[in-house]
Copies of this chain bind each other. A is one copy, B any other.
Amino acid sequence: MTMTKKITINDVAQAAGVSVSTVSLVLSGKGRISSATGERVNQAIEHLGFVRNRQAASLRGGHSGVIGLIVSDLRAPFYAELTAGITARLESQGRMVFLIQSAGEADRLLPRLEMLISQGVDGVIIAGSLAHGTELRQAADRSGIPVVFACRASYLDEVDLIRPDNMQAAQILTEQLIQRGHQRIAWLGGQSASLTRAERVGGYCATLLKFGLPFHSEWVVECESSQKQAAEAVGILLRQNPTISAILCYNSVVAMGAWFGLLRAGKHGDESGIERYFEQQVALAAFADVPERALDDIPISWVITPAKEMGESLAERIMQRIENNACELRNHIMSPRLVTKN
């Protein structure tokens, strides 16, 4: 360990032959500093290897330039993408993101938020569980720190929130199938407890009715997000309801599974008839969080939740709130993007 003595703006000031306040002004680029002095100071900084202590800066100045981000589950591609969007936008503005995983434990959210606040963040973005949204917002308000929320479904009053339009996504997908001539459209995947799924199923159902098409509750099947289960489920579904001509898949894994299921069903069904039917006529459509390479391998059209754009919006929003905390809360809903093959 070399353990060089810590270098402060005092050292820089001395080396550059100016006062500390001049150094400070150069650092923050605020004051009207002659380019000559500015140059001299920068050289001293460079030469001494000075790194500014932001804790002190923040303690004194009140702004840290850091945004706290609490994410429920970084492993989910949706949140990973969201985080990427947030980080990119914020870093381009010279800010830094202090990320913490909440591992979905909604009850430990408050202490984590307080941690963040006590670290001096300028604002907080909470993505995922909104379990105690209002409560959290109040806690933050108390310390004068703005909070913005993001989630995949549902909404809360009295908080600043950005979320995807799940219903519209389902409508787009369903309409697209209808326009391609499909009349008997089924739903596969997701757990009925999921709010995201509920919203999507809602959009699917509404669109069917809007076009005067049949909706059968047996055509909406739950299924875990595993290829195997999806493959099996699709086999059963089609055997029991052979007239179904299109399937809406809850996510990309289910879609992949459904695709293999169609292949397999084709293989094991009685020859030519069923096989040709499945392979050629059952269309697939799906929801995805990010552009997925896996989906390129199968004939399918899908919608993408604009996770990255959501992240960027969140970044913008929190910065607005920091600059003008008084501005009113809003609920911003983001449209999906349709991807079709040829």
Contact = CB atoms under 8 A, between A and B. Distances in A.
A130 interface: no
A1 interface: yes
B100 A99 contact: yes
A52 interface: yes
Contact of A55 (B55, B81, B97, B98): B55
Contacts of A74: 74, 80, 83
Chain A, interface residues (CB within 8 Å), range? 35 or more
Interface string A40-66: 000000000101111110110000101
Contacts of A96: 100, 115, 119
Interface string A66-82: 10000000110100110
A79 to B, nearest CB: 9
Nearest to A56: B59
A55 B51 contact: no
A294 B226 contact: yes
B54 A118 contact: yes
Interface in A163-202: none
A256 B294 CA distance: 12
A117 B228 contact: no
Interface of A: 1-4, 6, 49, 51-56, 58-59, 64, 66, 74-75, 77, 80-81, 83-84, 87, 96-101, 103, 114-115, 117-120, 141-144, 226-228, 256, 260, 267, 293-294, 297, 325-326
Contacts of A77: 75
Contact of A52 (B56, B80, B118, B142): B118
A97 B97 contact: no
B49 A142 contact: yes
Given A1-B144, A2-B142, A226-B297, A51 B98 contact: no
Given A2-B142, A4-B142, A142-B2, A101 B119 contact: no
A245 B146 CA distance: 61
A75 to B, nearest CB: 4
A179 B1 CA distance: 50
Given A55-B58, A96-B115, A99-B101, 16 more contacts: A1-B144, A4-B142, A4-B143, A49-B142, A53-B118, A55-B55, A59-B59, A83-B101, A96-B100, A96-B119, A97-B101, A226-B297, A227-B294, A227-B297, A228-B297, A267-B267
B141 A2 contact: yes
